[in-house]
A and B are shown apart, each in its own frame.
Chain A
Amino acid sequence: GAVVSQHPSWVICKSGTSVKIECRSLDFQATTMFWYRQFPKQSLMLMATSNEGSKATYEQGVEKDKFLINHASLTLSTLTVTSAHPEDSSFYICSARPGNNEQFFGPGTRLTVL
């Protein structure tokens, strides 16, 4: 149990375009999901907390207008990177909690912006 999926696994886009990443909880409902970013050889950094039916909460330094988060159902959260630039190239990972505090992570999405 506690399976989280992400789509796509990897994406390459041109600078200036927008990219949407989906995060789904497959066997449980999640009122809260989390989005992280990981640069090469670094740790995971929390970007935002996605709340079903309400606005996301962003960590300090994360531009909410650039990283749009929508959590429209109890099993789906989306992250849209708007007007992507090469510096946005990274590994984006989502997580969700089935009940208690334990978080389960998706397989990640590798974004490359040319």
Chain B
Amino acid sequence: GIQVEQSPPDLILQEGANSTLRCNFSDSVNNLQWFHQNPWGQLINLFYIPSGTKQNGRLSATTVATERYSLLYISSSQTTDSGVYFCAVGNTGKLIFGQGTTLQVKP
């Protein structure tokens, strides 16, 4: 099956800093999603981005499908950005999740 690797596993930032989270995957995909899991466990959809670039406020994402990676950019980070960020990919309708990046933004 598809392997998904996220980096870094942990990230600590000062409020206002920018960051880049990476997701590598081992096979071609027709689905790639980025999520933020809040402290109560709810997965918040950030981007559906099997290819290309999208932006939503301070967040943006780029997927280079031919090179099998995706990047999530967080600019001007805020304490409310803290939590776990998951990348999930698939090519058969199912989603395979990476291990996540735990982000802590300090005031």
Contacts and interface: CB of A to CB of B under 8 A. Distances in A.
Q: Interface range on chain A: under 10, 10 to 19, 20 to 34, or 35 or more?
A: 20 to 34
Given A43-B100, A101-B31, A102-B31, A107 B41 contact: yes
B95 A103 contact: yes
Contacts of A46: 94-96
Contacts of A105: 35, 42-43, 45
A91 B41 contact: yes
Contact of A108 (B41, B50, B97): B41
A105 B95 CA distance: 12
A49 interface: yes
Interface string A44-59: 1110010000000000
Interface in B6-46: 30-31, 33, 35, 40-43, 45
A40 B95 CA distance: 20
Nearest to B45: A104
A34 B95 contact: yes
B30 A101 contact: yes
B43 A101 contact: no
A86 B42 CA distance: 23
A78 interface: no
Contacts of A93: 41, 43
B100 A102 contact: no
Interface of A: 32, 34, 38, 42-46, 49, 91, 93, 95, 97, 100-105, 107-108, 110
30 contacts: A32-B93, A34-B95, A43-B86, A43-B98, A43-B99, A43-B100, A44-B88, A44-B97, A46-B95, A49-B93, A49-B94, A91-B41, A93-B41, A97-B93, A100-B48, A101-B30, A101-B48, A101-B90, A101-B93, A102-B33, A103-B31, A103-B33, A103-B88, A105-B35, A105-B45, A107-B41, A107-B42, A108-B40, A108-B42, A110-B41
